[in-house]
Amino acid sequence: MNKWQLENKLTAQNLKFKDIIGILLQERGIRTKKEIDEFLNPNLSDISADKVGIDKNNLQKALKRINIAIKTQEKIIIYGDYDVDGICASAILWETLNSLGADVMPFIPSRFDEGYGLSKEGIDSLLSKQKADLIITVDNGIVAEEGVSYANKKGVDVIITDHHSLSKRVPDAFAIVHTTKLCGAGVAYILSQEIRNQESGIRNPQADHLSLVALATVADLVPLTGANRTLLYFGLKDLKKTQRPGLLALINKAGIRKEDLGVYEIGYIIAPRLNAMGRLESAMDSLRLICTSNKKRAESLAGTLSDTNLQRQQITIKTLEHAKGEVNKKPLKKLIFIASESYQQGIVGLVAGRLVEEYYLPSIVVSKGPKLSKASARSVKGFNITEFLRTASDLLVDVGGHPMAAGFTVETKKLKLLEDKLYKTVEELLNVKHLERVLRIDMELPEGFISQSLYSEIQQLDPFGMGNPEPTFLTRNLTVENLRIVGNDGKHLKIDFRIKMSDMRISGIYFNGSSKSKIKIGDKADVVYTLDENIWNGNKTLQLKVKDIKKT
């Protein structure tokens, strides 16, 4: 059961329509005239290295080293990561340097053979195929102290570009271009702009790189405020006009129109297909898809990505069923910790996320190996999972991530010690408030305000996502005029409400609501919802996306 939390204490009777946007902005931490103007009227010229917290001295060192490498034709390796953020960041820097005549190649390590980030295994793998004078990491490297040290011993300079949380010890890299205010592709975009500006005095984005930043920003779940919002705002515009054969083929394969691309389509349709290769196969095919100019090649790769994603879905379902079975075998504690030799490394993060949704507990899922085990962890709001895992750093080979998601490697023989230590520590650090499911409601809305005008008004705040959620409203005493179960699995409810003031009917959809709601036709109910446009046969109608409903 969700606890309802009203963020604004104004009653529906005291709320004025003209104040709604101001209240919504205030609740998102946007209060001053300057902040409001920047939010409602984003400007790309406001995006710069210093404004997102990138160290100026390190940036200049990186630019000088890259400039030397371009002019002397040193071999540059873009060392990426196998998720959407790492793939897009790799594409941005590779295309930028390649367009400037650099001798540059991308390299994305195998999740299974070289592991995550700049590692000894990854460096050996790339050096066995080609020489390298300069490695530029993207979306990784900030915790790769050993990897950087190993590269230095091999005579290879390393420039780190990353956005993950810093650890106590910073790698001894040639330069570090880092901020936690952007996704990895956002950091790569800033650096690519600086490189192009240095080389040609042109700061305009090349090869619709903003569209790649948009993909990564949504896929990596970074907060959609400040620079992230601006980059996504313009990136979505670029994405809807993209001429990249690979993206066009992938969009077509998914059965959507590029003009309809938004946060939902990226997060739930496009990103999973790009991510699937790195989870089960090689992420290089996803990078090839993004960068290819060959339409036939693009169509072939799009088919491969879609097939692999279907396989990923099936494996995830099977693994989740097994994991839930294991959880239900013993009493629940404040942490879920599950390990198995049958779990594939590429999907343990997805399973951990699903366990959090199901049980609302921090969840760790481990893929056990003969000597080393790889794990992913997902958290509940307010509990920093990366810092929590670092309390057991003495037992871990490596660990890194964000407050809500992390990954680590552990020697398999130490798994039980780790599990016991984390169970003990979580009892000390996790309190009951962390485990309370809270449904945050922006404001109570009178039923007469539910209108197309309101929907149009709140679109000023779009794009919505992490850090800038769709406005959530509460309207009391709506009459349930009709309801029926819908969906192939019978999990959803279609509810028609009667608006008394205008004597109009408005439909609502309550996903997964058939098992939660005891509501009946004729009941009056308090309804928590977001506003949505339902498009059917070219016709647009306003509907409520119900988040919760209680009989009054």
* 303 inside domain: no
Is residue 81 a contact partner of residue 140, using CB atoms and an 8 Å limit?
A: yes
Is residue 475 a contact partner of residue 549, using CB atoms and an 8 Å limit?
A: no
User: What does the pLDDT read at residue 141?
Assistant: 96
The answer to whether residues 394 and 535 belong to one domain is no
Q: Which of 188, 206, 224 is the last residue of a domain?
A: 206
Burial per residue of 230-241, b for 16 or more beta-carbon CB atoms within 10 angstroms, e otherwise? bbbbbbbebbee
User: What does the pLDDT read at residue 202?
Assistant: 53
Spatial distance between the Cα atoms of 452 and 504, rounded to a whole number of angstroms: 13
> Residues near 487 by Cβ (< 8 Å), separated by ≥ 6?
none
Output the domain CATH number for residue 159. Answer: 3.90.1640.30
The answer to whether residues 474 and 417 belong to one domain is no
pLDDT in tens, 495-531: 999 987 767 899 999 999 988 888 999 999 999 999 9
Place of tokens 């279907």: 310
The answer to whether residues 65 and 194 belong to one domain is yes
Q: Which of 206, 231, 259 is the last residue of a domain?
A: 206
Q: Which of 413, 435, 457 is the last residue of a domain?
A: 435
Beta sheet of 363-367, edge-to-edge order: 336-340, 363-367, 372-378, 405-411, 396-401
Where are the alpha helices (H) located in 328-377, listed in sequence order? Answer: 348-359
User: What does the pLDDT read at residue 488?
Assistant: 83
Q: What DSSP string describes 199-259? A: HHS--SPSTTHHHHHHHHHHHTT---SHHHHHHHHHHHHHHTT---HHHHHHHHHTT--GG
* 348 inside domain: yes
User: What does the pLDDT read at residue 220?
Assistant: 93
Is residue 209 a contact partner of residue 234, using CB atoms and an 8 Å limit?
A: no
Residue type, 145: E
Other CB atoms within 10 Å distance of the CB of residue 504: 13
The answer to whether residues 30 and 129 belong to one domain is no
Which residue ranges of the chain lie beneath pLDDT 70?
1, 199-207, 502
* 269 inside domain: no
The dihedrals phi and psi of 103, each to the nearest 5 degrees, come to: -90, 90
The answer to whether residues 474 and 457 belong to one domain is yes
* 418 inside domain: yes
For the chain, what is the domain count?
Answer: 3
Burial per residue of 32-67, b for 16 or more beta-carbon CB atoms within 10 angstroms, e otherwise? eeeeeebbeebebeebebeebebbeebbebbbebbe
Cα dihedral across residues 264, 266, 271, 273: positive or negative: positive
* 304 inside domain: no
Spatial distance between the Cα atoms of 9 and 47, rounded to a whole number of angstroms: 35
Residue type, 368: K
User: What does the pLDDT read at residue 206?
Assistant: 55
Give me the half-sphere count of Cα atoms (radius 13 Å) on the Cβ side of residue 34: 1
Spatial distance between the Cα atoms of 214 and 236, rounded to a whole number of angstroms: 6
* 63 inside domain: yes
The answer to whether residues 117 and 21 belong to one domain is no
CA distance readout (Å), 110 to 116, 156, 316: 8, 21, 20
Residue type, 322: H
Domain that holds residue 132: 49-206
> Residues near 393 by Cβ (< 8 Å), separated by ≥ 6?
399
- Spell out the SS3 assignment of 69-107: HHHCCCEEEEECCCCHHHHHHHHHHHHHHHHCCCEEEEE
> Residues near 432 by Cβ (< 8 Å), separated by ≥ 6?
none
Spatial distance between the Cα atoms of 190 and 192, rounded to a whole number of angstroms: 6
The answer to whether residues 177 and 66 belong to one domain is yes
The answer to whether residues 167 and 184 belong to one domain is yes
* 239 inside domain: no
* 285 inside domain: no
User: What does the pLDDT read at residue 57?
Assistant: 97
The answer to whether residues 353 and 458 belong to one domain is no
* Structure tokens belonging to residue 131: 């020489």
Phi-psi region of 296 (alpha: psi -120 to 50; beta: other; left: phi over 0): alpha
The answer to whether residues 504 and 449 belong to one domain is yes
pLDDT in tens, 68-126: 999 999 999 999 999 999 999 999 999 999 999 999 999 999 988 888 899 999 999 99
The answer to whether residues 150 and 91 belong to one domain is yes
Q: Is residue 148 helix, strand or coil?
A: helix
CA angle 534, 539, 541 (to 5 degrees): 40
Output the domain CATH number for residue 350. Answer: 3.10.310.30
Is residue 189 a contact partner of residue 205, using CB atoms and an 8 Å limit?
A: yes
The answer to whether residues 519 and 413 belong to one domain is no
> Residues near 126 by Cβ (< 8 Å), separated by ≥ 6?
77, 79, 107, 132
User: What does the pLDDT read at residue 204?
Assistant: 52
Other CB atoms within 10 Å distance of the CB of residue 301: 24
